[in-house]
Amino acid sequence: MNLSRARTIFFAESRELCDALESALLDRDLYPATRDTFDLLFRTAHTIKGTAGVFGFDTLVRFAHVMENVLERLRAGQIPLEYELITLLLQCNDHLRKLLDIGESEVALAPDDLAEAAPLLDQLRHYQENEEIAAELPVKNGSAQAQSVATATQQGSGTSSYWQLTLRFHPDTFRMGFDPLSFISYLSRLGTLRHVETVWRAWPTLADLDPTECFFGLEIALESDADGERIGDTFEFISDDSLIGILPPHAALTDYRILAQQLKEKTGESMDVQIRRWQSRNALTEAEAVLLLSAPQEPMIEPTATMQVPILPSPIRNDSHPDDKLKAALPSASHRRHSESQYVRIEADKLDRLINRVGELVIAASGTSTLVQQRQDAELMESVEIINSLVESIRDDALTLRMVPIGETFGCFPRMVRETAHQLGKTIRLDIQGAETEIDKSMVEMLADPLMHIVRNALDHGIELPECRRLAGKPEEGMVMLSAYHDAGAVVIEIRDDGKGINREKVLAKAMQHGLLQEGRVLTDQETLQLIFLPGFSTAEAVSDLSGRGVGMDVVKRSIEALRGVIDINSSVGTGTVFRLRLPLTLAIIDGFRVEVDGATLVMPLDMMYECVEMPVESMHQNAKQINVRGEWLPFVSLRDMFGLPIATAPEYVVIVYFGNSRAGIVVDRLLGEVQAVIKPLGEIFKSLRGISGSTILGNGHPALVLDIPQLIEHALRTERRRLQISGNPVIPAVVEH
């Protein structure tokens, strides 16, 4: 059976488990140092080890097993969770990720990859009672074999010196992506398979036969020094749906009888047949078999304490056996599996194709609406209106599929803050708020680097050393906060610190020193702070491993602008700094508003529009790019001026737009109405084009440019400030609140 899909799921889920392990090690608020947290750590490593074994990743299994031993001692209260142990477990977690990457790429382990585990194992040795763990992982030549030696603590009366495995697979085993042969293959690595027998259940007629249904079970005799827990791990991911019975060597006769009773109860198999089956392969003597067969039938009893691994009973479907108890158990089992299936994994490419199809559907629906309006057919217009409503609903639902919690992006910062603070000799606490805020998945990867640069600068430049904070009357522990929230059709991400703030005079001096600012130019506070985003700008006194080379912040600004976002900075000397990133909710499909300039159609994002008014020519400020709207002066930008077009002869209109706390007017020729716009990128050659964020196809098949409202607002405010500075007017327009 092809297990490629199961392998893909294994790697994805294992990486999620590694992320969960890291979060549990770092977040003491969500995961306090209690037994529940330690159990979670142990189960995570245990699950990775068990699943890796099914797919034959022996090196990963052995390394995870060593981690598991230490975590077992941790949850048993034998060792404390100290800073050094957390650091070691984080490094081991990183090595697990590396082994996963190597396994997924299907390349051979390099000597350096194997040698990398040696120092980790040496450190783990100090946390284990048994220091003979060097052989747990091949360090140089990969020839050492890892085995955990354990035998039954109390021998029963059974004759067999082998482990007896009774397996009855669920009918959906194949459909769930599991191959029973992979279990046999893994068991062969734990020891020698002395006996393997196939047990078939009743087949349906040929007409009713489903080739994807599993009709068989296995009886296995395994000679192995492995303990029962390790053998049981082989079947961890099917134990909820299949019946797995594991009896240790020399198990008590009572345990054989319990297993035979469970087989009868769950699958309807005869106890006599099963006992004779064990006898035929010398697991039981003739006398023991007769003794079990002659014993009176008793209700189900509990396993004795001599069993290394308890029998794991689960409802198993057997359509050929009319057992009332079995049929009664089926609905509850089905309901349980349904309730647990809250999420479905979908490949990113499939999701992107769906969004593209929805985009084409939106364009086609818009074209149909245009044709219907031309024909003025009332019944057809009503039908198209219903279709457009459904298309809009499909569009909204499809876009929500692209939305993912921003916590996935925030998840890498606790580790980075912890290690960077230790490197700098500082004590810093990271607070994360609004991790559940959703953002377009296409932005997630593009946000990681900009946020990393800003947070790293806050740690290095913003937060003071403990002694400096103490002298300033601050707590020695600094604070960096990452928060996200939705605001007016946008996602706002704030990076806040309680450090020393940004010294504006120092920023201006550095800008003049490096020739980044013209002499005599007067800047507002916001413009001064924005200088830190210029290429080559740095206020660091010395170059360090973290910063000081003048690179990074300019990349941050370009990356955010590429996402059609803006960055604002607020800083107070001695108090701290706030970087505020404002980004659109989605980059795919928007509700737009069509306007016209010199016969060309343009589209504005509808959620950034405030109102539309006629151009108040009589109230235009003398020689200024400001208009008076009901007593309020607003800066504006004329698209005709921006595009170098002649002055309009007909009356114009002003579309008042906003982004964040800023407002401005955009002067256009005509207002055409709403439209659903599928945004298409302009291409590499137009990536530096200002004021335009993309293009779209209208319902009539004609292209239209999508205006970049944040950039146009910034242009309007900047133009008016420069005009006022040139005229000598000390009054500079501030941000206009909406």
**Shared domain check, 208 and 129:** no
What is the secondary structure of 509-527 as a DSSP string? HHHHHTT-S-TT----HHH
Q: Is the pLDDT of residue 368 over 90?
A: no
Cα distance between residue 564 and residue 710, in whole Å: 8
Residue 34 is encoded by which pair of tokens? Answer: 């209690």
**Shared domain check, 710 and 690:** yes
Give 143's pLDDT tier (boundaries 50, 70, 90): very low
**Shared domain check, 669 and 602:** yes
**Shared domain check, 130 and 57:** yes
CA angle 538, 540, 545 (to 5 degrees): 100
Cα distance between residue 414 and residue 636, in whole Å: 43
In-domain check, residue 704: yes
The residue ranking higher by pLDDT, 660 or 104, is 104
Least confident of 157-161, 374-378, 394-398, 669-673: 157-161
Cα distance between residue 619 and residue 617, in whole Å: 5
Q: Is the pLDDT of residue 305 over 60?
A: no
**Shared domain check, 612 and 521:** no
Give 312's pLDDT tier (boundaries 50, 70, 90): very low
Least confident of 565-574, 642-651, 684-693: 684-693
CA angle 353, 358, 362 (to 5 degrees): 150
The CATH number of whichever domain residue 10 belongs to comes to 1.20.120.160
The residue ranking higher by pLDDT, 165 or 153, is 165
703: how many CB neighbours lie within 10 A of its CB? 11
How confident is the model over 487-505, as a mean pLDDT?
A: 87
Structurally, the chain folds into a number of domains equal to 5
- Per-chain mean pLDDT for the chain: 78
Non-local (6+) Cβ contacts of 184 within 8 A are 193, 196, 218, 220
Residue 619 is encoded by which pair of tokens? Answer: 């109230």
**Shared domain check, 688 and 598:** yes
In-domain check, residue 120: yes
476: how many CB neighbours lie within 10 A of its CB? 13
pLDDT by residue (tens digit) across 550-592?
446 888 888 888 787 888 899 989 899 999 998 877 666 778 8
Give 131's pLDDT tier (boundaries 50, 70, 90): very low
Give 318's pLDDT tier (boundaries 50, 70, 90): very low
- Beta strands 490-497 and 670-678 are unpaired
By C-alpha distance, which of 338, 343, 392 is closest to 365?
392
Tell me, what amino acid is at 600? A
The answer to whether residues 464 and 423 touch, using CB atoms and an 8 Å cutoff, is no
How confident is the model over 588-604, as a mean pLDDT?
A: 87
Q: Is the pLDDT of residue 688 over 90?
A: no
651: how many CB neighbours lie within 10 A of its CB? 10
pTM: 0.59
| pLDDT computed for residue 557 by the predictor | 85
| pLDDT computed for residue 151 by the predictor | 29
Strand partners, 604: 593
Tell me, what amino acid is at 39? D
In-domain check, residue 337: no
The CATH number of whichever domain residue 688 belongs to comes to 2.30.30.40
Cα distance between residue 402 and residue 134, in whole Å: 46
Give 219's pLDDT tier (boundaries 50, 70, 90): very high
φ, ψ of residue 461 to 5 degrees: the values are -95, -35
How confident is the model over 317-346, as a mean pLDDT?
A: 40
How confident is the model over 281-297, as a mean pLDDT?
A: 71
Cα distance between residue 462 and residue 528, in whole Å: 17
How confident is the model over 269-297, as a mean pLDDT?
A: 77
In-domain check, residue 736: no
| pLDDT computed for residue 736 by the predictor | 46
Cα distance between residue 121 and residue 264, in whole Å: 47
Which among 380, 402, 424 is the end of a domain? Answer: 402
Interior/surface letters 41-76, b for 16+ CB within 10 angstroms, e for the rest? bbbbbbbbbbbbbbbebbbbbbbbbbbbbbbbebbe
CA angle 506, 507, 513 (to 5 degrees): 85
Domain around 382: 348-402
Q: Is the pLDDT of residue 469 over 70?
A: yes
The CATH number of whichever domain residue 415 belongs to comes to 3.30.565.10
How confident is the model over 143-157, as a mean pLDDT?
A: 30
| pLDDT computed for residue 165 by the predictor | 92
**Shared domain check, 115 and 25:** yes
Cα distance between residue 3 and residue 11, in whole Å: 12
What is the secondary structure of 396-452 as a DSSP string? HHHHHHTEEETHHHHTTHHHHHHHHHHHHT-EEEEEEE-TT-EEEHHHHHHHHHHHH
Which among 531, 559, 584 is the end of a domain? Answer: 584
pLDDT by residue (tens digit) across 376-413?
888 888 898 899 889 888 888 887 887 888 887 888 88
Q: Is the pLDDT of residue 63 over 70?
A: yes
**Shared domain check, 224 and 87:** no
Q: Is the pLDDT of residue 362 over 70?
A: yes
By C-alpha distance, which of 569, 565, 568, 735 is closest to 661?
735
Cα distance between residue 446 and residue 323, in whole Å: 57
In-domain check, residue 157: no
Least confident of 70-74, 281-285, 515-519: 515-519
- Beta strands 427-433 and 477-487 are parallel
Handedness of CA 688, 689, 693, 695 (dihedral sign): negative
The residue ranking higher by pLDDT, 147 or 730, is 730
Give 320's pLDDT tier (boundaries 50, 70, 90): very low
The answer to whether residues 526 and 569 touch, using CB atoms and an 8 Å cutoff, is yes
**Shared domain check, 504 and 448:** yes
**Shared domain check, 624 and 575:** no
By C-alpha distance, which of 493, 499, 429 is closest to 460?
499
**Shared domain check, 275 and 168:** yes
Residue 496: burial class (beta carbons within 10 Å; 0-12, 13-18, 19+) = buried
Residue recorded with tokens 């014993």 = 295
What is the secondary structure of 450-476 as a DSSP string? HHHHHHHHIIIIISPPHHHHHHTT--S
φ, ψ of residue 295 to 5 degrees: the values are -70, 145
Tell me, what amino acid is at 496? R
Residue 414 is encoded by which pair of tokens? Answer: 């606790």
| pLDDT computed for residue 529 by the predictor | 85
The answer to whether residues 566 and 580 touch, using CB atoms and an 8 Å cutoff, is no
How confident is the model over 636-660, as a mean pLDDT?
A: 86
189: left (phi over 0), alpha (psi -120 to 50) or beta: alpha
In-domain check, residue 279: yes
**Shared domain check, 622 and 719:** yes
Which among 584, 617, 651 is the end of a domain? Answer: 584
In-domain check, residue 632: yes
| pLDDT computed for residue 544 by the predictor | 55
> Dihedral (C-alpha) 407, 412, 417, 423: value to the nearest 10 degrees?
180
| pLDDT computed for residue 36 by the predictor | 86
Query: How distant is the alpha carbon of residue 677 from its chain centre?
Result: 28
| pLDDT computed for residue 342 by the predictor | 53
Q: Is the pLDDT of residue 289 over 50?
A: yes
pLDDT by residue (tens digit) across 44-55?
888 888 778 767
pLDDT by residue (tens digit) across 406-422?
887 888 889 889 989 98
Q: What is the 3-state secondary structure (H, E, C) of 547-588?
A: CCCCCCHHHHHHHHHHCCCEEEEEEECCCEEEEEEEEECCCC
Q: In what order do the strands lie in the sheet with 566-572?
A: 427-433, 477-487, 490-497, 576-584, 566-572
In-domain check, residue 149: no
Could you tell me the CA-to-CA distances from 478 to 253, 426, 428, 484 in Å, in that order? 65, 8, 5, 20
